[in-house]
Amino acid sequence: MHRKLSSYILLFALLASSLAFRLQPARAQTEVDPPQVIANAVAYLKAQQQPDGGMLGFAGASDPDTTIRTLLALAVNQTTLADFTSAQGKSLVDYLASQADVYVHDPNGLLFPGRAGMLLTAAVIANQNVHNFGGLDLTNELATSYQPDTGTYATEAALDYSSGAASDLNQAWAILGLSVAGQYIPTPATFYLAGTQAEDGSWGSGDLDTTALVLNALLASRNVPLGDAMIGKALGYFSATQLPNGGWRPSWDQDALNADTTGWVALALAAVQQDPLEENWATAEGDPLAALYSLVKEDGSIGGTYVNAYSTADALIGLGQTPFPALALLPVYQRAALLVQNGDGALFPLCVAFTEEAISGFELLQRSGLEIASVTDPSLGTAICGIGAQGCPASQCFCGMPNYWAYWQAGEGDWAYAVSGSEQSVVKDSTVEGWSWGEGTPPAWLSFDQVCQPGSVQPASVAVQSQSVAATAYPEPAADTATTVEESYPAPLATATRGVQSYPAPEATRPAAPTAYPEPTQGTESAVKNALAPAVPYLILLVILVGLFGGILILSRRKK
C-alpha cells in the first residue's frame, strides 16, 4: 500500500509541476534585448536603401512614403541620418528632395495636403530648410491650401487613389507637418478634426493608424490639452480593439497582429503619456512593445506576412517611444487661454494663437472660432451679446437681463472682473481670459498651463467639455474674422531650436492612469478576462487533483 501511495504522490507532484509551468506568463519565456533589436532593424533598413538614396518600396523601387517613414523611424530612435548614404553618395534627404515636386503635386500642379505634411515633417526632423526643400516652400504651400470657411487643408488634387479633398488623414498630416515646423494652426483646423471623431473614439472610419496619427497631430498643434475628453475616447478605442497578444491589427489583416498598426498605436500612447508597459496595456500574452518584438525576423526586419522596409520602419516608430511633438521646432507665435462658460455651467477651454505681440480681448474672442454677436456704441464701446447659442442677438443685446456675458481676467490664481472693455484690454502670451453667462458669476478657473500645455492634465473635479462639443455648439467664425494666410503662418526663426522643453519627456511625467481620461469600459474589462481566461482550466484541474489526492489519503488510512 505504501508503494501505491508513493506512486500516487509522485504522479501528483509531476502533474502539479507541469501545471505550474503552464501557468507561467508566455512573455516571461522570451528574453529580448531592445537596443539590439533596434540596431538589427536599422541595419536591415540600411540594406534596403537604393543607389538613389531612397528606400525600397512595395513596387520594387525607391518610394517616397517608405523613405519618409524610415527617416522618422531613425529620428525617434536617435540614429544618425548621415549613416544612411548609398554607395553613390545619395542620402535619404537627397532622394526626398529630388522627388518633392512630383510627390506632393498632381499632374496639374495641385497640392496633396497629406503628402505635403508628411514631407514637411520629415524635412523639419532632418534639419532642412522647409522654405526651400526640393525647390518648394512646403509651409507656404500648405498654408495656401487652408480653407477658412471649413477649417480644412484641402485641394482638388487627384491622382490614382490619392486625393487632396478634406479628410482625417490629410488634415492630420497637414497639422502635424506645420506644427513641427513651428507654424500656427488655426483653431478651426483642430475643430474640424475634433468634429470628425466617431462615437467609438476613432478617426478615419475606425482606422487605428489614422486615429494614432490624429492624436499626435492634435497635441502637436498646441490647440488641444492632454486632458481633453476626445483623447480619452481615443484611448478607449485603443483599449477596446487591443488583441490578447498586446498588439493591434486592421480589420483586413489575417495575421495575429500588424507591425505598422501596433507601431503607430504605441507611438500614440507615448504622445498621450501612457506607458505601454503598464498594466492598463499589458494583456495576458504581452504588452504593445512585446508584441512588436515578437515580429522580429532573423534578418532584423520586423513584420508579419508582408514584412519589408515599410513595416520595419513603422515598428521602429513605435519602439522609439518619442512622440513627434517632442521633435518640433519652438513656435514663433503667442498663445492665450480663453475660458467660456455657459449658463448651465458647461465650460469650453480654448487655446488661441496669434502672431502679434499683443491683441485685445475682443480680438481673442473673435479668433477663437466661436460665433459671437456684438454691438458697438461710439461712446460706450463694444458689448458681447451672444456667444454660440447662449445669449441674445445683436439687435436685442440685453434681452436676457439680469443675465449677460460677463468679462473676466486673471487675478492672483483666480478671476478678477475686467475693469475695462474687451476692446481696450491687452492680451499677451500666456494671458488667461474668461467669459461667463449669468448674473456676474465667474467661470470655473483653469490656469494657462492646464488649457494650453499638452503635458498638463485638467483636474477631474472641473466639468470641462471636450473641444468636439465646442465645435458643435459654436459654428465656424464668419469670413470677416478669418486671419490672412500671411498672418496665420509666419516663417519660423532661422535660429529655432527643438521644442522639447515645451513637451514634457514621457518618462518624466507619464501617469499610469490619469484621472482626466475616461476609464476604458470595454478594453480594461477584456484585458482582465484575457488575463484570467488561460488560467481557468488549469485552476479547475488543480482543484480536482487536490481532491483526488485527499481521497487517496483517506482511503489509505481506512485500510490501515
Q: What was the pLDDT predicted at 533?
A: 44
Are 341 and 295 members of one domain?
Answer: no
pLDDT in tens, 394-446: 999 999 999 999 999 998 878 999 988 999 999 998 899 999 999 999 999 99
Residue 493 domain flag: no
Q: Are 126 and 202 in the same domain?
A: yes
* Residue 494 lies inside a defined structural domain of this protein: no
pTM for the full predicted model: 0.64
C-alpha 128 chain-centroid distance: 24
Model confidence at 136: pLDDT above 60: yes
Residue at 367 is within a domain: yes
Residues 267 and 395 in one domain: no
Give yes or no for residue 460 having a pLDDT over 90. no
pLDDT of residue 244 exceeding 60:
yes
Predicted local confidence at residue 357, as pLDDT = 85
Please tell me whether the peptide bond between 402 and the residue prior to it is cis, using omega within 30 degrees of 0. yes
State residue 551's pLDDT score.
Answer: 62
The CATH number linked to 432 is 2.170.130.30
Closest CA to 510 of 149, 248, 269: 269
* Same domain, residue pair 230 and 115: yes
Average pLDDT across the chain, whole number: 80
Q: What would the mean pLDDT of 129-150 be, rounded to a whole number?
A: 94
**Per-residue model confidence (pLDDT) at position 6:** 53
Pair (428, 371) in one structural domain: yes
| Whether residue 198 sits in one domain with residue 58 | yes
Paired with 432 in beta bridges are: 337
Partner residues linked to 341 by β-bridges: 347, 436
Based on the domain organization, do 85 and 168 belong to the same domain?
yes
Is 477 strand, coil or helix?
A: coil
First to last CA, the chain: 9
Are residues 204 and 153 part of one domain?
yes
User: Is 480 within the bounds of a domain?
Assistant: yes
How many other CB atoms sit within 10 Å of the CB of residue 554? 10
Q: What is the pLDDT of residue 456?
A: 30
- pLDDT: which is higher, 369 or 60: 60
Query: Looking at the structure, do residues 292 and 352 belong to the same domain, yes or no?
Result: no
Domain count, the chain: 3
373 and 312 both lie in a single domain: no
Q: Tally Cβ neighbours within 10 Å of residue 110.
A: 15
**Per-residue model confidence (pLDDT) at position 470:** 34
Residue 235 lies in a domain: yes
DSSP state of 119: H
| Residues 6+ away with beta carbon under 8 Å from 36 | none
- 312 lies in some domain: yes
Q: 71: which DSSP letter?
A: H
* pLDDT, position 30: 53
Q: What is the pLDDT of residue 352?
A: 87
DSSP-based three-state secondary structure for 176? helix
Of all helices (H) and strands (E), which one includes residue 352?
strand 347-354
Please tell me the distance from the alpha carbon of residue 559 to that of residue 60, in angstroms, as a whole number: 79
- Regarding whether 306 and 157 lie in a shared domain, the answer is yes
CATH number of 513's domain: 1.50.10.20
CA dist 113 → 33, 178, 216, 285 (Å)? 39, 11, 17, 40
- Summarised one tens digit per residue, pLDDT across range 354-392 is 878 899 999 999 988 889 999 998 877 899 999 999 999
pLDDT at residue 476 is higher than 60: no
**Residue 118 located in a structural domain:** yes
Q: How confident is the model at residue 493 (pLDDT cuts 50, 70, 90)?
A: very low
- Quote the domain boundaries for residue 41: 32-328+499-519
Q: List pLDDT tens digits, range 321-339.
A: 999 888 888 776 788 999 9
- Considering the domain boundaries, does residue 365 fall inside one? yes
Tell me, yes or no, whether 220 and 72 share the same domain. yes
Task: Quickly state the pLDDT bin for 164 (edges 50, 70, 90).
Answer: very high
**Sorting pLDDT into bands at 50, 70 and 90, what band is 227?**
confident
